[in-house]
C-alpha cells in the first residue's frame, strides 16, 4: 500500500513529502502497488505513545474535593470516597483484587483504551499490577506488557503486586521498572527519592512518574544515571497546583515523556494535554514536545519494534491528521479527535474517515461507524456497546468527553 500527497514528519528533525509504503504491518521500501490512498491537506506522524495512564481510572468527573493536596497519597484515600469511584463501582466493582479479567474489568480498561485511541495513541503504559496475558492480548492497540511496577514508595503496592525490591529484581535491563515518585510538594514527597535510592540502584530501565518535588541536584542525578521521567502536567496541576521543573528537565536533556494519567485526576486525553502544555509552557519548542510523545517514550518503555519514528522496518504505527498550523510540530498542539484522517496500528486501520476503509482488507462488522461535524468516521471495535452497557448498569445516561 502507498500513502501519497502527505507532509511526512518522520521524526523530530526530518519533514518530507515522500510517499509512505506499507507492507506486512511495517513501513517498507518503495515498491509497485495499485493500492494508493491520496490524502488532501494532511500530515503524517508516527502515532503517539502514552507513557502513563491507569486504564480502569478513566471515569468522569474528576475526583478530589480537598485540592490542592500536599501529596497524592492523601488524594488516593479521598478518591475512594469520590462520586466517580462510587458511580464506577455500579459498573465495575473495585473489590481490591485488581484482577481485571473479573467482572467488567476488561471492558472498563477498554473504555480507557478508547480515550487513548481518540487522541492518536497506539501504545499505552497502563500503570497497574501485572495482569494475565489474556488482558494484554484483548486490545486493538498495544498495552505494554513488558514491565514491572510499584504504586509508590509511601503506599507501596497497596493495589497488588510484590514488594519494591522484588518487583525490581524481576526486571532485566530491557524491562521498564515503573513507580510514582515525589508526587507532591511536602516533606514526604521530597523524602521519596532518597528512600528509593536506598532500596535499588538507579538504572536506565527505571521510569519515575511525576517527580514534582525534585530539585536541580535530583534531576542531575537522574541525568547521570539515564533514568527516565514521565510528566503528567494536567494531573499535577489538578491535584497539587504544581508540576515538575520541566525547563530544568529539558535543559539537562533528561529522557522525559508525556503521560495523561487517568481522567479521575488528569486530562480528558492526550490532545487536551498537549493543548494544556502549549498554553502553560509556551516557551517549550513544539519539536521537543513531539519527542515527548514519540521517540522519548519508545526509549523509556524499551520498545523493540517501534522507535516512535517513521522508518523502514518499524511497526507501521501512523497518525494522519489535518494541517491547522504552518509548522507540522506546532500542529500537534491544537488537535482534536475529529482532525484525525487515518490512524494505523501495525498497518491495521484503527480510526479514520470512512472513505479510506475500503483500501484495507478488513471485516466491517469489527468497526463502529459514526458522524462528527458532518463527516463519517470508523473506529475499531464497539465503544457504543460499552457505553450502552455502562448506562444499563447505572440506569441512566452517562457522558464521557473523550468518546465522539
Ligand atoms: Zn498515575
Write the pLDDT tens digit of every residue in 291-346: 999 999 999 999 999 999 999 999 999 999 999 999 999 999 999 999 999 999 99
Domain boundary among 278, 300, 322: 300
pLDDT given at position 220 = 98
Distances, alpha carbon 80 to alpha carbons 83, 94, 96, 388, in Å: 9, 10, 11, 25
CA–CA distance, 310 with 328 (Å, rounded to integer) = 15
CA quadruple 59, 61, 62, 66: dihedral positive or negative?
negative
User: Rounded to the nearest whole angstrom, what is the distance from the C-alpha of residue 387 to the centroid of ligand 1?
Assistant: 24
For every one of its 404 residues, what pLDDT tens digit does the chain have, with 9 covering 90 and above?
999 999 999 999 999 999 999 999 999 999 999 999 999 999 999 999 999 999 999 999 999 989 999 999 999 999 999 999 999 999 999 888 899 999 999 999 999 999 999 999 999 999 999 999 999 999 999 999 999 999 999 999 999 999 999 999 999 999 999 999 999 999 999 999 999 999 999 999 999 999 999 999 999 999 999 999 999 999 999 999 999 999 999 999 999 999 999 999 999 999 999 999 999 999 999 999 999 999 999 999 999 999 999 999 999 999 999 999 999 999 999 999 999 999 999 999 999 999 999 999 999 999 999 999 999 999 999 999 999 999 999 999 999 999 99
User: Rounded to the nearest whole angstrom, what is the distance from the C-alpha of residue 355 to the centroid of ligand 1?
Assistant: 38
User: Rounded to the nearest whole angstrom, what is the distance from the C-alpha of residue 260 to the centroid of ligand 1?
Assistant: 8
Number of structural domains in the chain: 2
CA–CA distance, 55 with 40 (Å, rounded to integer) = 34
User: Rounded to the nearest whole angstrom, what is the distance from the C-alpha of residue 128 to the centroid of ligand 1?
Assistant: 9
CA–CA distance, 72 with 386 (Å, rounded to integer) = 30
User: Rounded to the nearest whole angstrom, what is the distance from the C-alpha of residue 239 to the centroid of ligand 1?
Assistant: 11
User: Rounded to the nearest whole angstrom, what is the distance from the C-alpha of residue 64 to the centroid of ligand 1?
Assistant: 14
pLDDT given at position 96 = 86
In a domain, 209, yes or no: yes
CA–CA distance, 219 with 209 (Å, rounded to integer) = 13
pLDDT given at position 94 = 85
User: Rounded to the nearest whole angstrom, what is the distance from the C-alpha of residue 364 to the centroid of ligand 1?
Assistant: 36
Whether 334 and 196 map to the same domain: the answer is no
CB count within 10 Å of CB 195 equals: 13
User: Rounded to the nearest whole angstrom, what is the distance from the C-alpha of residue 180 to the centroid of ligand 1?
Assistant: 6
User: Rounded to the nearest whole angstrom, what is the distance from the C-alpha of residue 177 to the centroid of ligand 1?
Assistant: 14
Domain boundary among 279, 300, 321: 300
Residue that is written with C-alpha cell 514491565 in the block: 147
- Which grid cell is 102? 473479573
In a domain, 402, yes or no: no
Q: Say whether the peptide bond before residue 96 is cis (omega within 30 degrees of 0).
A: no
DSSP string of 338-391?
GGEEEEEETTEEEEEEGGGGGGS---GGGEEEEEETTEEEEEES-HHHHHHHHH
- Which grid cell is 81? 470516597
- Which grid cell is 271? 490532545
In a domain, 401, yes or no: no
CA–CA distance, 198 with 193 (Å, rounded to integer) = 9
User: Rounded to the nearest whole angstrom, what is the distance from the C-alpha of residue 154 to the centroid of ligand 1?
Assistant: 14
Range of the domain at 97: 49-300
User: Rounded to the nearest whole angstrom, what is the distance from the C-alpha of residue 310 to the centroid of ligand 1?
Assistant: 29
Of 110, 20, 3, which is closest to residue 380 (Cα–Cα)? 110
pLDDT given at position 65 = 87
- Which grid cell is 142? 498495544
CA 392 to chain centre: 28
User: Rounded to the nearest whole angstrom, what is the distance from the C-alpha of residue 53 to the centroid of ligand 1?
Assistant: 6
User: Rounded to the nearest whole angstrom, what is the distance from the C-alpha of residue 16 to the centroid of ligand 1?
Assistant: 36
Domain boundary among 274, 300, 326: 300
User: Rounded to the nearest whole angstrom, what is the distance from the C-alpha of residue 94 to the centroid of ligand 1?
Assistant: 17
Whether 39 and 63 map to the same domain: the answer is no
Whether 293 and 332 map to the same domain: the answer is no
CA 287 to chain centre: 18
User: Rounded to the nearest whole angstrom, what is the distance from the C-alpha of residue 2 to the centroid of ligand 1?
Assistant: 39
| Bridging pattern class, strands 121-126 and 142-143 | parallel
Sheet holding 20-23, edge to edge: 26-28, 20-23, 2-4, 36-38
User: Rounded to the nearest whole angstrom, what is the distance from the C-alpha of residue 52 to the centroid of ligand 1?
Assistant: 6
CA–CA distance, 92 with 111 (Å, rounded to integer) = 12
User: Rounded to the nearest whole angstrom, what is the distance from the C-alpha of residue 366 to the centroid of ligand 1?
Assistant: 31
- Which grid cell is 201? 540502584
CA quadruple 26, 27, 30, 33: dihedral positive or negative?
positive
**Do the beta carbons of residue 208 and residue 222 sit within 8 Å?**
yes
For the domain that residue 38 is a member of, what is the CATH number?
Answer: 2.30.40.10
User: Rounded to the nearest whole angstrom, what is the distance from the C-alpha of residue 274 to the centroid of ligand 1?
Assistant: 17
User: Rounded to the nearest whole angstrom, what is the distance from the C-alpha of residue 367 to the centroid of ligand 1?
Assistant: 30
Amino acid at each position: 500500500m502507498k500513502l501519497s500527497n502527505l507532509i511526512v514528519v518522520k521524526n523530530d528533525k526530518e519533514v518530507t513529502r515522500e510517499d509512505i509504503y506499507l507492507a506486512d504491518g511495517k513501513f517498507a521500501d518503495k515498491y509497485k502497488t495499485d493500492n494508493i490512498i491520496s490524502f488532501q491537506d494532511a500530515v503524517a506522524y508516527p502515532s503517539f505513545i502514552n507513557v502513563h495512564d491507569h486504564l480502569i481510572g478513566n471515569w468522569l468527573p474528576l475526583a478530589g474535593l480537598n485540592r490542592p493536596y500536599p501529596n497524592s497519597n492523601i488524594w488516593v484515600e479521598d478518591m475512594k470516597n469520590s462520586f466517580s469511584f462510587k458511580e464506577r463501582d455500579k459498573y465495575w466493582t473495585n473489590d481490591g483484587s485488581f484482577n481485571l479479567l473479573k467482572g467488567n474489568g476488561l471492558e472498563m480498561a477498554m473504555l480507557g483504551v478508547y480515550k487513548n485511541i481518540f487522541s492518536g495513541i497506539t501504545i499505552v503504559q497502563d500503570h497497574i499490577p501485572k495482569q494475565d496475558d489474556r488482558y494484554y492480548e484483548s486490545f486493538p492497540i498495544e498495552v505494554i506488557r513488558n514491565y514491572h511496577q510499584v504504586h509508590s514508595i509511601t503506599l507501596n503496592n497497596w493495589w497488588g503486586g510484590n514488594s519494591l525490591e522484588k518487583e525490581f529484581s524481576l526486571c532485566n535491563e530491557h524491562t521498564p521498572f515503573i513507580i510514582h515518585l515525589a508526587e507532591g510538594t511536602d516533606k514526604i514527597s521530597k523524602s521519596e527519592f532518597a528512600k528509593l535510592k536506598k532500596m535499588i540502584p538507579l538504572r536506565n530501565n527505571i521510569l519515575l512518574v511525576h517527580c514534582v518535588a525534585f530539585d536541580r541536584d535530583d534531576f542531575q542525578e537522574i541525568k547521570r544515571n539515564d533514568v527516565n521521567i514521565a510528566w503528567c502536567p494536567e494531573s499535577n496541576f489538578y491535584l497539587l497546583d504544581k508540576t515538575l521543573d520541566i525547563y530544568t528537565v529539558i535543559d539537562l536533556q533528561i529522557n522525559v515523556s508525556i503521560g495523561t494519567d487517568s481522567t479521575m485526576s488528569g486530562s480528558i486525553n492526550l490532545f487536551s494535554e498537549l493543548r494544556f502544555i502549549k498554553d502553560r509552557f509556551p516557551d517549550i519548542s513544539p519539536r521537543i514536545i513531539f519527542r515527548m510523545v514519540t521517540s522519548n517514550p519508545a526509549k523509556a518503555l524499551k520498545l523493540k519494534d517501534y522507535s516512535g519514528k517513521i522508518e523502514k522496518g518499524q511497526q507501521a504505527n501512523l497518525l494522519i491528521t489535518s494541517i491547522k498550523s504552518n509548522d507540522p510540530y506546532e500542529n500537534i498542539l491544537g488537535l482534536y479527535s475529529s482532525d484525525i484522517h487515518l490512524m494505523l496500528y501495525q498497518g491495521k486501520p484503527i480510526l479514520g474517515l470512512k472513505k479510506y476503509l475500503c483500501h484495507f482488507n478488513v471485516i466491517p462488522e469489527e468497526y463502529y461507524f459514526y458522524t462528527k461535524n458532518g463527516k463519517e468516521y470508523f473506529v475499531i471495535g464497539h465503544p457504543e456497546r460499552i457505553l450502552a452497557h455502562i448506562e444499563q448498569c447505572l440506569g441512566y445516561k452517562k457522558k464521557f468527553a473523550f468518546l465522539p
